Amino acid sequence: MSPSFLKRILPFTASLALSVGPAASLAQSALGAEYEAIGYAKEATHNPVARLLARLQSGETQLEYSPTRGYFDSFIAELGIDPSSQVLVFSPTSLQYRLINQRTPRGLYFADDIYIGFVQHSTIVEVATEDELLGTVFYIFNNVKDTTQPLVREKDGRCLVCHDSNGLGVGGVPTVMAMSGLFDQRGNLLRDFSAGNTTDQTPLADRWGGWYVSGQHGAQGHLGNVILNDASQLPQVEQLQRGNLDSLETLFDTTPYLRATSDIVALLVLEHQLTVQNQLTYVKFKAPMVLQRAGHPEARDAASWDALPPNGQRALRRMLNKLADTLLFVDAAPFTERISGNADYVNWFQNQGPRDAQGRSLREFDLNTRLFHYPLSYLVFSPSIDALPPYAKDYLYQELASRLQNDETLAASEHERHAALAILAAIKDDFAPYAEAARAVE
């Protein structure tokens, strides 16, 4: 891997990168103890890609090939991903960077626990998915006709060259990123706005540099659709912004993609989802090692929060509070005007997931002043939450119940907080006692 390539890719890595050659051995040799402790290299079976691979191998299903995008359309359909989730990134920050520019952006398609990267003129499709036990794992889908090996898990450290949270696989955890920066027409990064990763807290004005963005957002500016000639144009960014576009057809040839859009609502959901899932992965990787370093390796099997020794609790509280914060949208950047995107995506997203007896869902959008109507993420129902260590889930449930019942600093009314608490208690039987306890304290 050349120094010039490292200079280009490492300071600004978007999602779903792949690597080959010397970088692989570098990442593999530098992996931290957390990877070994969680058994990251063992077979990943608790994720949608593994389940699809099993169906393909058994003959239960098969993918259909087309002359335009190969097996791609059939592949995402089998994974339950709707084309309306499409978002397009033109920053050359995949390791397929030579094929990505403002004329041939990378298409990202996603559902609750899986992310697919489509690059024009490539025979591989990049895949990242949330495994309930292992956190984020990576696959390569070989998009060639009559392949005998359609899906291959990448687990020897190559993807972690960029997808380790510390960089180059040196002691962090697997991470999927959505970042924001301004580029010139040659793909050089001129300015990074993401400070590591775009989250719910990132102001809209600093989001989506290097991405195409379609949808309505009023006078709220953003960095999407901005391509600069060179650094001399940085002071003119506000004048060069192009927003409130319902289609991207005037910016580049959209015919190779499933849609002519890069939906603003899908982008907002993507950034929230990655923030939660990256923190979930962090807890799964780091919590056992933190307990070990605190001198209590046996505590990793503790059945409850109270069963942890005091210094173990002190060591873990911060990371678990951060997870609760992400699920509760703490300090999320507010919207100053209504945001609207593709109705197909909004309808597809809201029609999924569980509802309580009153028909209420945590997937209901607000889009006037914030992303969702209720101040609790739909990801609280994800299998990855259920797979947390018992002591971690016990503490998380206590926090969620207490704060939804009593925390007036959350960006929602008391009625909305209590409704979110009721929805969660009605759908998750194991959470109901926590809700009852929080109500009893008031």
pLDDT in tens, the chain (442 residues): 333 333 343 333 443 333 333 333 334 444 667 787 788 888 999 999 999 999 999 999 999 999 999 999 999 999 999 999 999 999 988 878 899 999 999 999 999 999 999 999 999 999 999 999 999 999 999 999 988 889 999 866 667 777 776 654 445 788 888 999 999 988 889 998 877 789 999 999 999 999 999 999 999 999 999 989 999 999 999 889 999 999 999 999 999 999 999 999 999 999 999 999 999 999 999 999 899 988 999 999 999 999 999 999 999 999 999 999 999 999 999 999 999 999 999 999 999 999 999 999 999 999 999 999 999 999 999 999 999 999 999 999 999 999 999 999 998 999 999 999 999 999 999 999 999 999 998 6
What pLDDT does 38 receive?
Answer: 82
N-terminal to C-terminal alpha carbon distance within the chain: 59
| Residue 71 to residue 65: CA distance in whole angstroms | 5
Last residue of a domain, one of 175, 191, 226: 175
* Residue 200 within any structural domain of the chain: no
168 and 270 part of one domain: no
CA distances from 265 to 85, 215, 273 (A): 9, 8, 12
282 and 411 part of one domain: yes
Domain count across the chain: 2
* Residue 212 within any structural domain of the chain: no
Q: Position 273: which residue type?
A: Q
| Residue 282 to residue 290: CA distance in whole angstroms | 11
Q: Give burial (CB, 10 Å; 0-12/13-18/19+) of 41.
A: middle
Last residue of a domain, one of 111, 140, 175: 175
* Residue 393 within any structural domain of the chain: yes
* Residue 114 within any structural domain of the chain: yes
DSSP 330: T
Phi-psi region of 239 (alpha: psi -120 to 50; beta: other; left: phi over 0): alpha
CA distances from 198 to 13, 206, 230 (A): 12, 9, 24
303 and 425 part of one domain: yes
68 and 166 part of one domain: yes
What pLDDT does 31 receive?
Answer: 61
* Residue 228 within any structural domain of the chain: no
- b/e code 383-412 from CB counts within 10 Å (16+ = b): ebbebbbebbbbbbbbbbbbbbbeeeebeb
Classified as helix, coil or strand, 29 is: helix
Cβ of 348: how many Cβ atoms within 10 Å?
Answer: 17
What pLDDT does 27 receive?
Answer: 42
Residue 337's domain comprises: 264-441
What pLDDT does 166 receive?
Answer: 65
Structure tokens at 130: 């949330």
152 and 283 part of one domain: no
Under 8 Å between Cβ of 41 and 174: no
* Residue 201 within any structural domain of the chain: no
Structure tokens at 39: 């058994």
What pLDDT does 160 receive?
Answer: 74
* Residue 182 within any structural domain of the chain: no
- Residue among 104, 118, 86, 109 nearest 247 (CA): 86
Structure tokens at 421: 């608490």
Cβ of 298: how many Cβ atoms within 10 Å?
Answer: 10
Last residue of a domain, one of 175, 192, 214: 175
Q: Position 46: which residue type?
A: H
275 and 154 part of one domain: no
166 and 306 part of one domain: no
155 and 278 part of one domain: no
* Residue 413 within any structural domain of the chain: yes
162 and 287 part of one domain: no
**The tokens 């609750």 sit on which residue?**
112
403 and 281 part of one domain: yes
